[in-house]
Structure formats: structure tokens, C-alpha cells
Structure 1
Amino acid sequence: MKKIIVSVTNDVANDQRVSKVCDTLYNLKYDVSLVGRKLSNSKNLKRHYPIKRFKLLFNKGVLFYIEFNIRLFFYLLFSKSDILLANDLDTLLPNFIVSRIKNKELVYDSHELFPEIPELLQRPFKKKIWKTLERILLPYLKNCYTVSDSIAHYYKEEYNTHFNVVRNIPILSKTKTRNFTKVPFKITKKKIVLYQGAVNVGRGIELMIEAIDILTDCYFLIIGHGDIFEEINKLVSQKNLNNKVYFLGKIAPQELKDITPLAHVGISIEEDLGLSYRYSLPNKIFDYIHAQIPVITSNLPEMKKIVHQYKIGEVLEERTPERLAEKIEYILNKNYSANLKNAKKELTWGNEEIIIKRIFNSFE
């Protein structure tokens, strides 16, 4: 049984993509180990495979990345393995070095265009460091996959490195029965507009808050946490919208599956803040589809391609509160159920994991 060590810089609890990949490899009879980080609020996890989480002195900034990468390097160096799987650029360097020292196979899963994330747009020096690292390492990689066609094309043009595409799509399961005890407000005839994901810059949350102020028959439910969570909370209070906007914070993936189907519209309206957002294909879009709720997405290539191909919602071409409110009202008066059912059947992890199986089976 070949040993695979999978590494990621988060605490692994809510990373659905890494969890699905590990389960796929486990079901292929690989000996899987997962490495991440341990936070003060990290919960104990029960998986089919062992999990190692580093407790760090530094949990943000440059010192976090330095400490984590040093710890990961020595862990990989002195651990038995046949294959190393690095998730994102912030774990790639120690995986690459150890793969060369120990002559091990290396697989790279790029969840996004890391140097192009909005958090680095105003930090040119840090962006240059990540970009330089990418430029040095990627041309040497042979077994890679990423989340969208646009990112794969970018890597091919930029570094002449081939990336397969494995979209972050849920495992096919039955849609849960709607249980409104899961939401923090009394259900009336009002509809629920849902945002789930990181509460970070450029996710369109502020725009939705402006739109909910216009809509008279909707609640806005936010599930997730992030860098601007407190700012969004203050904005809601300043606008006196506490009776229309509700926060559930970060919740476990299994619990999320109970709540997502309660919504009537799901939004993924990221701003065009650099290539990482422009080429992104957020997993929440597929979560909405699997919960069989229609979506509103940004007018960005990968998102609108899904909407137009499967006809499961609307694309927001004009980013104004008025236009967004109109799109929501339009969706609430249209039936997308047949298209959503068809999309759910086709867009499944079972179809995506074929690429992963092909990559790892090539090492046999």
C-alpha cells in the first residue's frame, strides 16, 4: 500500500476539497495522511486516515508561513512516504524540496491563483515573493491539477506547465428536507437569500446588504467568517438591518448541508479584483446547485459559463444594488427546478475524481 502525505496550511476541518481528495485516495487503497495546522478553536476530527496538525507560535503573517513551512519540511523529510500532495503555493516549497531529496513523486493541487489574491494586490513586495516562487517551481512540476479551465490555461501560457482541471464539486447526495429550526429568525412569507463562504474583501457582501435594504420580502443569511466579518456586522447595524441580515458564522460542512437547502437564492458575486477572482469557480456555486437553489453570479468567465450552460440562475452584469434586487425578484418568480436537478446529476465529485484517479494510478 503506497503512502501519500497530503499537506495544507489550514486546520483541515472545513476544507471540503481536501477532504474529498483524501477520501478518493483512501478508497483507492492508498495509505493517506493529512497534515495541517491546529488553531485554538480547532475541533477534534474523526477521519478514515490519520491527521497531523501543527500547533504554531505564529498564526498569521510572514512568520506563520516561515514557521509552517519549516515544520512541514522536517515532517516530510523524516516521514515515510511514496507520494507527496501539496495543496496551494504556500505548501509547495517544502514538498518540492523533499520530493527531490528523497526522490518521491509530487502532485500539486492549486486551489486558486495564489499570487493574484486580492489580499496581495496592495502588497507588491509580498506578491513578488509568491510570484517568484511560482515561477521557479511550476515549470518543474509534472502532475498538477486546478479548479477551473481559465486557471489551467493561465498556467500553460505563463509557465508552459500542464494542469488538469478538477472542479470543487460536492459528492452526489439527496437534498435534505427543509428544516427551518436551523435558522435564527421566525419564518414568514419572506424568502432567504444566502451567501456562504469566506467573509473577505471583494465577495460582494456589501452590495447584497445594499440590495436587501431595497427588497421588502427577503432575509439575507451569511454563513462564514473572515477578514471583514466585524466590518460587515457594523455595516448591518449602521443601516439598521439587523432584522433582515443574519450571521451564522463558520459552521461544519455537514451542518451546512442542512442549511443551504433552506435558501431560495444563493449568491456568488465576487468582484473582479485580480486574476484569482476573475478565473475562480467558487465551490459554493456547486453547493447551491446540489441544494437545488438557483444562483446569481458575477459576470466573470467561469461562473457565468456554468449559469449559461445549465440555466440554473442569472448573471449580474451591472453591479448596483437596484440591479441585484431586480435579479433576485426575477429569480423568485421563475422555476429553475428541472434545470437544477439536471445540473446536479451531471456536476458531481464522482465525475471530477476520475482525473485524480488517473494521476495517482499512473504511479503504479
Structure 2
Amino acid sequence: MKILFRLDATTAIGTGHLMRALTLAQAFVSEGQKLQRAVTCCFYTQTLPAALNELVLAHGFSTLHTDKLHADIAPIEAAQPDLVIVDHYALDARWESKLYGRFPLLVLDDLADRTHQANWLLDQGPLRHKSDYQPWLNSDCQLLLGGRYALIRPEFRAVKKNQDPAVLQHGFICFGGADPVHATLKLLTGLNKVEKARTIHWRIVAGAANPDWLQLQTLCQTCSLAVELIHHDPNISQQLDWADFAIGAAGGMTWERCCVGLPTLAVPIVDNQSFNAQVIDHFQLARLLDFTQLDNTLVLNNVLAELGQKANVYRHNSQRLIDGYGANRVAKQLISALF
């Protein structure tokens, strides 16, 4: 089985599309092995940062590059994939229609704000309903909606929390692979002035495309906090296992933290995370924090105290909603449909 993914990952748009595509690709490989069916995956992208290109190759997948957003479909035709998967906020039915009817097509989306033409559409948002997408889709498109399909790597299932910390001692900070709004730097600047933060051992993972790496290094060396700074850690599950709580964006890592059951201060940092913020608020999955408050010392001191008091609520609600098997469900369902 040959699968081709069309997505991009840059400093501007972040790495979330790439990371969830890698998760889904691994699930297809795993489900294929159960059926004694070999699965190969190719990632068709605009030029990736070197570290991200190496990450794809390290997973055993191949890359194919284009210099256009609306990429030429000739390489796709040449590859003759059994399935094309598109995960890109800037692509819609105008490009997808060139493939629809020629190759089975799965679209990943979170926004429900533009037309699509596909055989399947996946939106892992737990509050999504068919009516959100009906105006935007061809009538025969099958919908895979909700937390049941959340794309989580299996290692996160292995580190699920089964009890709450008596004291919040270990704090994990990560705002994704790119952090285009400089949230990590803003937060660290604020925490450096919070007395309660000095009682906590912090670990910060700055993604491969984080623009503030040098400034973060300097601040970590001079601040009054006990803090470790890590550059692009591929083993985020181990960090979540170590941590008593997290502070991070309301993007794709939301579902990983939910699967683990890690109490979190969740910060929507870009507009396309607003729906996730609604989900977090509706199901009480985490304590929401506004981006503008990241360097507000009074607010930070108060929310750190509140997080400890509600850790059990957040852990229970999160693990009840996200079980971590979504990627395997998607892969199994599509392999069954195709073969």
C-alpha cells in the first residue's frame, strides 16, 4: 500500500500538520503489518527545514518537494498512490478536485471554513458535528469526527497518569515546533518574576523551528528558576511522563496531554486554535490562559495555585475523552475500505 501525504511545515505555520501526519503514517504501517500488507509513505511538501526533513526520513518515510503551494499533481500521478492524504489549511476543493475520482482522498481539517472534495474528511475536534461540514463537502464524503479519531502516537498511551501529584514539582513548557508568536520567551520572562515558580523544576522544549532559541538560552542561564532547556525533543511522551503539569499551546499537543491526563495551562496562541479552546472549556480539560497574560506575574501565581487544586478534574475529564487509539481506528477503517 502506497500513501502520499500533502502538507507543509515552516516557522510561520508550525509543525503540527507534519507531526500528526507522521502519527497517522505510523498507524497505517502498524495496521498494515497486522494484515501482512506492507505500507510505504511519501511526504510531498514545499522545502522542509533540514531538521524536519531528517525527521521524516528517520521514520523510514520518503520526501518529495515542490516550490508551489498548489503543487503539481504530475509527481502524484507518477507515484500512483493507493491513498492521498491532504493536511493543509491553505488548500481546498480547487486543488483537491484535481485528485478526487483519480485517487482515494482523505482530507484532515480542524476549521470547517472552506470547501473540500474528498472521499473522507477527518476532524478530531470532540465538539465537531456533521452539520459543521455539510455546506463545505461533496455529498458522498464520509466524515470521521471527534476525539474517537484523535491522532495520538502509542507511546502516549503508555505513560497515562493514574494519580494526581500531591504537589506540583515538575513543570513542562512547550508551544509546539515553531512558536511563531514567541510564547515561550514571553512566559519564561513572566515566570522569572513569580515566587511560586521558583519552587518548581522546569523543563522547556523549544521546537526545531523556534525563532527565539538564542534568547531562550541566555534567559535560562541568567534567570532565577531551576530550568532545563531542550532543543527539539522527539520524545515528548517522556517529558509528559516526567511532568506534574504542563503549560502549552492549544494546538495538536492538546490531545496528547489529554491522553496522558496531564493537568495543563492551555494557551491559544493562533486563531486556528480557538475551536480547541472551546473544546477545552466545554469539557473542562485544562485551565485556559490568555496569551496576553503569559507575562502577568499576578495571574501566573494564581493559575499555578488553581491548577494544583483542579488537577484531578482535568485528568479525569481528559482521559475519559481521549483514549489514544484514534490513529489506529482511522488506519484500520481506511485500509478496510480500500482493500
Q: What is the match of residue 302 of structure 2? A: 326
- 8 Å CA contact 2:42, 2:62 repeated in 1: yes
Q: What is the match of residue 174 of structure 2? A: 195
- 8 Å CA contact 1:89, 1:114 repeated in 2: no
Counterpart check, 1:34 vs 2:41? yes
Q: Whole-Å Cα distance in 1 between the matches of residues 248 and 105 of structure 2?
A: 33
**Of 206, 219, 236, which aligns to 1:224?**
206
Q: What is the match of residue 64 of structure 2? A: 54
Q: What is the match of residue 54 of structure 2? A: 43
Q: What is the match of residue 165 of structure 2? A: none
Q: What is the match of residue 24 of structure 2? A: 21
Structure 1 residue runs of 5 or longer lacking an equivalent are 57-63, 116-133, 178-188, 270-280
**Of 229, 234, 240, which aligns to 1:260?**
240
Counterpart check, 1:84 vs 2:73? no
Post-superposition offset of 1:345: 6.0
Q: What is the match of residue 271 of structure 2? A: none
Post-superposition offset of 1:327: 0.5
TM-score (norm 2): 0.68
Q: CA 1:356–1:235 in 2, change beyond 3 Å: closer, same or farther?
A: same
Q: What is the match of residue 159 of structure 1? A: 136
**Of 281, 287, 290, which aligns to 1:314?**
287
Q: Whole-Å Cα distance in 2 between the matches of residues 200 and 3 of structure 1?
A: 33
Q: What is the match of residue 187 of structure 2? A: 208
Q: CA 1:226–1:91 in 2, change beyond 3 Å: closer, same or farther?
A: farther
Q: Whole-Å Cα distance in 2 between the matches of residues 13 and 330 of structure 1?
A: 29
Q: Whole-Å Cα distance in 2 between the matches of residues 114 and 239 of structure 1?
A: 43
Q: Whole-Å Cα distance in 2 between the matches of residues 83 and 55 of structure 1?
A: 18
Q: What is the match of residue 277 of structure 1? A: none
Q: Whole-Å Cα distance in 1 between the matches of residues 240 and 204 of structure 2?
A: 11
Q: CA 1:51–1:295 in 2, change beyond 3 Å: closer, same or farther?
A: same
Secondary structure at the residue paired with 2:192? helix
| Superposition CA RMSD, Å | 4.3
Q: Whole-Å Cα distance in 2 between the matches of residues 55 and 105 of structure 1?
A: 21
- 8 Å CA contact 2:261, 2:318 repeated in 1: no
Q: Whole-Å Cα distance in 2 between the matches of residues 114 and 14 of structure 1?
A: 16
Tell me which amino acid in the other structure corresponds to 1:221: R
Q: Whole-Å Cα distance in 2 between the matches of residues 19 and 292 of structure 1?
A: 22
Q: Whole-Å Cα distance in 2 between the matches of residues 14 and 106 of structure 1?
A: 17
Structure 2 residue runs of 5 or longer lacking an equivalent are 162-167, 269-273
Post-superposition offset of 1:158: 5.5
Post-superposition offset of 1:304: 5.1
Tell me which amino acid in the other structure corresponds to 1:174: A
Q: CA 1:325–1:10 in 2, change beyond 3 Å: closer, same or farther?
A: same
Tell me which amino acid in the other structure corresponds to 2:184: I
- 8 Å CA contact 1:84, 1:105 repeated in 2: yes
Post-superposition offset of 1:212: 0.3
What's the % identity of the aligned pairs?
A: 7
Secondary structure at the residue paired with 2:229? strand
Q: What is the match of residue 175 of structure 1? A: 159
Q: Whole-Å Cα distance in 1 between the matches of residues 82 and 236 of structure 2?
A: 35
Tell me which amino acid in the other structure corresponds to 1:108: V
Secondary structure at the residue paired with 2:79? coil
Q: CA 1:227–1:3 in 2, change beyond 3 Å: closer, same or farther?
A: closer
Q: CA 1:105–1:198 in 2, change beyond 3 Å: closer, same or farther?
A: same
Deviations 1:95-130 (A, max 9, x none): 642445xx22222122x4499xxxxxxxxxxxxxxx
Tell me which amino acid in the other structure corresponds to 2:176: G
Q: What is the match of residue 344 of structure 1? A: 319
